[in-house]
Amino acid sequence: MLAQIVSEAGERAGLPEGTISLVAGGGRDELAELARQDGLVDLIIPRGGEGLKQALKASATVPVIYAAAGNCHVYVDESADPEMATRIAYNAKVQRPGVCNAAETLLIHAEVAPKVLPGLFEQLRAAGVELAVDGRTRTIAGLDGDGLGEATEEDWDTEYLGMKMAVKVVDSLDEAIEHVNRHGTGHSEAIVTSDEAAAERFTGIVDAACVYVNASTRFTDGAEFGMGAEMGNSTQKLHARGPIALRELTTFKYVVHGTGQVRS
């Protein structure tokens, strides 16, 4: 029904009949057939889990822009305002946890952790967030009881897409950057800081499609970026990176009018 509504709306807006179509089926055999239609299919943007992406990588001969996974981080620097840090970290996790731009890991500098973690954890736990923490985080926050587990190496690499968050205390900006680049998926990363040099270093070295200073990762979205309707978020470096909207899918055609010119 959704496909029918979009197709009819497109025709009313002036698109040729059949421009927007629903492809029936959807099994892996049909997907492989679609992904090998050179000359007919210009581009595929898959929306789904890692299994879908791996199936396409194994069979596709047409171009693919992967709307990739988002193992996103918020790093709270030692110079961060505690209230701002709490607000951003909470929003990045809780506002809509099941999407690719939600934060999955909180990294926090040891110097500011005692000012942020107790209050933030109280808010997160009240919202129903399960916390997986390292030993230093547990000690600094002074927490125990339900909803607080021991973080493992697997947690640092996990996109929860739900009400769970991993938390780690770090000793430096560079340690945070190294953790983000090792475990992140290149989607959206954020630093909370009042130090301009720290912000510049973080944004310059962190490898991600979108890097935020003092803002939630939840803003990575085509509509929020003013692009209009979004088809996905790409962590590839070419062609499109970040939110994919109509502008990112536009190709070029050069029409040249002459009056008999020749090149010598």
Which residue reads 């979108």 in tokens?
210
pLDDT in tens, the chain (264 residues): 999 999 999 999 999 998 998 887 767 788 889 999 999 999 999 887 778 888 888 999 999 988 878 999 999 999 999 999 999 999 999 999 999 999 999 999 999 999 999 999 999 999 999 999 999 999 888 765 555 799 999 999 999 999 999 999 999 999 999 999 999 999 999 999 999 999 999 999 999 999 999 999 999 999 999 999 888 899 988 888 999 998 888 889 899 999 989 889
Q: Where are the domains of the chain?
A: 2-64, 72-219
For the whole model, what pTM was predicted? 0.89
**In this predicted model, what pLDDT tens digit does every residue of 131-170 receive, in sequence order?**
999 999 998 887 655 557 999 999 999 999 999 999 999 9
- CB contact set of 211 (below 8 Å; sequence gap of 6+): 188, 189, 190, 191, 202, 203
Q: Which two tokens stand for residue 122?
A: 């109280």
* Burial 121-141, CB ≥16 within 10 A → b, else e: beebbeeebbbbbbebbbebb
Alpha-carbon distance of 38 to 44, in angstroms, equals 11
CATH superfamily of 72-219: Aldehyde Dehydrogenase; Chain A, domain 2 (3.40.309.10)
Report the length, in residues, of the chain: 264
